[in-house]
Structure 1
Amino acid sequence: MSLSYTELLSAFELDDNIAALTNSGYGIEREALRVLPQGKLSDKGHYKALGSTLTHPNITTDYAETLLEFITPVSHLPERTIAQLEDIQKFTFGEINGELLWPMSMPCFVDCENNIELAYFGESNIGKMKTIYRQGLKNRYGSMMQVIAGIHFNFSFSQDFWLKYQSFEQNEQHLQTYVSDKYFALLRNYKRFCWLIPYLYGSSPALCPSFLKNKKTDLPFKKSSKGYVYLEHATSLRMSDLGYTNSEQSSLHICYNDLHGYVKGVQEAINMSSDKFAAIGVKVNGKYQQLNANVLQIENELYAPIRPKQVAKSGEKPSQALLNRGVEYVEVRALDVNPFSPTGIDLQQMLFLEVFLAYCALRPSDTLDAAQQEVLDKNMDEVVVRGRDPELRLNDEGVEKSITEWGQSLFTEMASAAALLDKAHTTQKYSKALAVEQAKIINPNLTPSAILLNYLTKEEGSLSKLALDKAQEYKDYLQARDYQFYSHDYFIEQAQLSFDKQKEIEESDKVSFDDFLKGYFGK
């Protein structure tokens, strides 16, 4: 039987059940461009002291050699996750020869796309595949889009949470089937309300004009006195058509109603041919230009504000891992880098996101058809380009609502989830985090996008100077503090171990790259 939101809150609140709200899993993936002190993109490759990008557990690269990615392991305390991220960045700063980490999502000044070097992962078949995938992204969307940085927040509820939930509903499914179904219910609710994320945390309302070179856009950009282009009410241009979107994917209707429907949709997209991408060619004059000519080269190319995840084993596709072992956690992907935090995300955000995801998990969640998903996608699209426009109205199941009206209603409902988490952790921090974010619903001038635009327009500030000042401030702060979780020796050891592991992978390859690729897509 299905229970209401209020009934579930009451059940979890009982003394025998409240502890199930603790021991959740947290993880962060933070991307950051390496830049020179004057603000230009670094021209150096990945520093050897940082280890192998293919195999290091904490430090790798995303699209470009200069786009670092820091990864924290699963932790059961959000404070520890932040400490781990600080430690990783502290070590990195000591090994990158005076370079800085750009503290914003949209890139610094890039005078030529050809200066953006593809990330290199060594000579193994899997390493080559990673680089060719990035070559495909370059040919499909251009390099500039691929040096945009973001934050991924990984979260899972404890097994005890799901066991309690299942017992409340008197459900007799296999536990992992039940858990996967409940995570997909969470995903649907997240999609219903995910416009909140760019509204609250969007930090990219403006761009360096170099980003728009050779880009066609109908967006009504204005120009600041220092030459930056911006949209007056934008929150997250990173999440707009200028950033992490894929026009070829607009025809896809990935189903979030159940695990098998989702995997089927993703796998169909990987096998769906694209005339546009076929024109690029796959192997041209003996050199790969992309992995294939389909709408998606691999599953990672699916741009989505949230993903269901299961840790994949060696050689296992993400969708196959989901089919084999179900959903293990969710990856929230709609977060801009927070320019006002040394780690790109702060504890306040993590606490709110936990409340938000708990609300999405406990609230009833009907299935969504394609038409309903289109409405939700449109809500998101509107908020990223005009989320602070007082005239904006979003579509809530056919009813037009202002962000203030809808937001206040959601925060009123989320207050109960925050109170439940407070009780479970013997704290007030969740309710306090919720109050901080609710203030932004009442007053849009408190949002980071509004603060940045105010600096850019009314104070006639320079976005680059602000970013560089923050970058230097964060470098000084992180280098001055002591390690909290890791140690310097740990990173030295991991770098060497990662090179040893990369060498082992390269020496274990027994087939040509062409045959490896055929085998990978033939599975």
Structure 2
Amino acid sequence: MLKGAEGRAAIKDMRRGIEREALRIDASGHLAMDGHPKTLGSALTHSRITTDYSEALLEFITPVTHSIDELLTGLTETHAFTLNQLKGQQLWPVSMPCYVGDEKDIPIAQYGSSNAGRMKTLYRKGLTYRYGALMQIISGVHFNFSVSDELWDLLYAQSDKSVSRCDFISERYFGLIRNYRRLVWVLPYLFGASPALCHSFIKEQQTELDFEKMGRGTLYLPWATSLRMSDLGYTNKEQERLSISYNSLADYLKGIRAAIKMPSDNFANIGVKVDGEYRQLNANVLQIENEFYAPIRAKRVTRSGEKPSEALARAGVEYIEVRALDVNPFSAIGIEASQVRFLDLFLLYCLLSPSATTDAAGEQEIAANLKAVVLEGRKPGLMLSQNGVPVAREQWMLALFAELQQLAKLLDGKDDDQYQQALAKWHQAVIDPNETLSGQVMKTLAEKGLDHGAWVMALAKEYQQQLLDYPLSAAALASFEAEAQASIESQLQLEAADRLNFDDFLVQYFADEPAKEAVSQ
């Protein structure tokens, strides 16, 4: 069905977007303590340059595009414009932070005086009380992905049409999600780039990880791939009580709705409003839906005032968001083209392959495989579990790559080989774990004889110069400057338009009916 001209055109027409997080640092490598630069616009309303948890944690968002070259060029332009506004500050080019002083000094992101802006800041304040600030400034890369309407037309035409086209699309995207979760360990194996970190990140944290030390202050696990995705990263023990199913959109929405109303004794002890000052949005396991940690999310663009689950319930799944990617330290923009092409192949495979529902045993297997690869993915002879049967990591990956090779040939056609080249590049990492990103990090540290922090600082300076030298066109520069100004004006308009006091705004937001004022977390 997909091998003809019509099928190949439909499958090639993918839509992608990238969100890349990066900490602003000063010349000595320490976390920047100043506010979000005014010349970058309003972090509340700018479509391409915003902040995540902290004033110092930038987030760059690309528009959705069909072209990989256009995607990465746009992301590079955003980086280049930003570096030109930072007045000597740099971007920390890895996921795990390093030179952080007292975490109480980490500046929480500010979004102005509108109710929407105050809610975004309060949500982050709640994260601080719940988990501490240090965990929240870990950086990652998110990859947004959807396929064409033409492909859905072809797939739906081949189905039994027992459900509507809209419900069919949601069903198939949830099939993609289930397959992705079974195979998610592949991504930290190949693209995990945080096998080592600065000892200053650990501080007073209690950890069962048996770190080894190199140099003056580098901690590492010999076979680790992504400490970002370990228990050192963004975790929520309270969420272990949740039972959110990916077997259907209805099951997923039922679980999310229950989670955001589930009270937590631990979080209640923090208090919601103490001595007239808010500490968190509420005392539930999740303050809002975005607090639910998942390495993949089903998404739909929300309308004004609409919660993510409400958007999904209204019109089904529109795209998926991959959240299991470390920042690639060997790229000035945190990701490169061969990774994007691999993700295309990987996600298409997950979409087009049969996808059984998952039971409790399957969930345990998914979690165990991911943990094994995160902590010791490069270990020779590592065994994983596939449908309850022990299987060598390399054997499983070789079988997967054979399947991906067929997709690569289909996407390349007769006149191209870019997907096959990308697959061949990462195939080398299947055979030789030293060719994974984490393997390259450890090899580089050993060869250069540098501490992790010193190596990353050198990269930050190198990428700073590279991006300052980037030939940003007059049109691109004018576009960024215009959006910065327009975003500031939009924020002022939001602030002027508020009619509710903040207490009433929160009551309305958490009522069953969506709030009328826009909130995007």
What is the match of residue 452 of structure 2?
463
Q: Residues of 2 paired with 1:225 and 1:503: CA distance?
A: 50
Q: Distance in 2 between matches of 1:487 and 1:174?
A: 42
Q: Is the 8 A contact 2:246 2:252 kept in 1?
A: yes
- Displacement of 1:486: 5.8
Instruction: Determine if contact 1:25/1:75 at 8 Å carries over to the other structure.
Output: yes
> Which residue does 1:522 correspond to in 2?
511
Contact 2:49 2:58 survives alignment (8 Å): yes
Q: Name structure 2 gaps, 5 residues minimum.
A: 513-521
**Residue identity opposite 1:500 in structure 2:** E
2:72 match: 82
Q: Does 1:431 align with 2:392?
A: no
CA contact (8 A) 1:83 1:485 kept: no
Q: Is 2:219 aligned against 1:224?
A: no
Q: Give a deviation string over 1:75-126, Cα, whole Å, max 9, x none.
A: 0101111000001111101111110000000012112101200000000111
Shift of 1:320: 0.4
Residues 417 and 140 of structure 1, relative CA distance in 2, 3 Å threshold: same
Alpha-carbon displacement from aligned partner over 1:113-165 (angstroms, at most 9, x marks no partner): 01200000000111011001000111111100011000000010001011111
Indicate yes or no: 2:442 matched with 1:453: yes
Q: Does 1:100 align with 2:95?
A: no
Residue 284 of structure 1 aligns with an amino acid whose one-letter code is V
Runs of 4+ in 1 over 4 A off after TM superposition: none
**Aligned runs of 1:201-212 on 2, under 5 Å?**
201-212=191-202
| Aligned twin of 2:516 | none
The answer to whether the Cα contact below 8 Å between 1:225 and 1:457 also exists between their aligned partners in 2 is no
3-state SS of 2:5 partner: coil
**What amino acid is aligned across from residue 288 of structure 2 in structure 1?**
I
SS at match of 1:223: strand
Q: Which residue is 1:512 aligned to?
A: 501
Q: How many angstroms apart in 1 are the aligned matches of 2:49 and 2:416?
A: 33
Shift of 1:55: 0.1
Deviation at residue 22 of structure 1 after TM alignment: 2.4
After TM superposition, the structure 1 stretch with the greater mean CA deviation from structure 2, 475-484 or 391-400, is 475-484
Unpaired runs of 5+ residues, structure 1, are 1-10
Q: Is the 8 A contact 1:224 1:460 kept in 2?
A: no
- Give runs of aligned pairs for residues 12-51 of structure 1, distance below 5 A: 12-51=2-41
- Cα displacement (A) at 1:251: 2.0
Superposition deviation, residue 33 in structure 1: 0.2
Change (3 A) 1:458 1:83: closer
| 1:405 aligned counterpart, secondary structure | helix
CA contact (8 A) 2:445 2:455 kept: no
CA distance in 2, matches of 1:366, 1:417: 21
Q: Counterpart in 2 of 1:118? A: 108
Size of the aligned set, in residue pairs, is: 512
Is the aligned partner of 1:169 residue 2:154? Answer: no
Q: Distance in 1 between matches of 2:202 and 2:466?
A: 33
TM-score with structure 2 length normalisation? 0.96
**2: CA distance between counterparts of 1:116 and 1:380?**
30
* 1:489 aligned residue: 478
Query: Residue 472 in 1 paired to residue 456 in 2?
Result: no
Q: Distance in 2 between matches of 1:95 and 1:459?
A: 32
Partner residue of 2:310?
320
Give RMSD over aligned pairs. Answer: 1.3
Range that drifts further, 446-455 or 24-33: 446-455
Quick one: which amino acid aligns to residue 104 of structure 2?
N
Q: Which residue of 2 aligns with 1:6?
A: none
3-state SS, counterpart of residue 6 of structure 2 = coil
1:267 is aligned to 2:221: no
Q: What's 2:431 paired with?
A: 442
Equivalent-residue separation in structure 2 for 1:16 and 1:219 (angstroms)? 52
TM-score (norm 1): 0.96
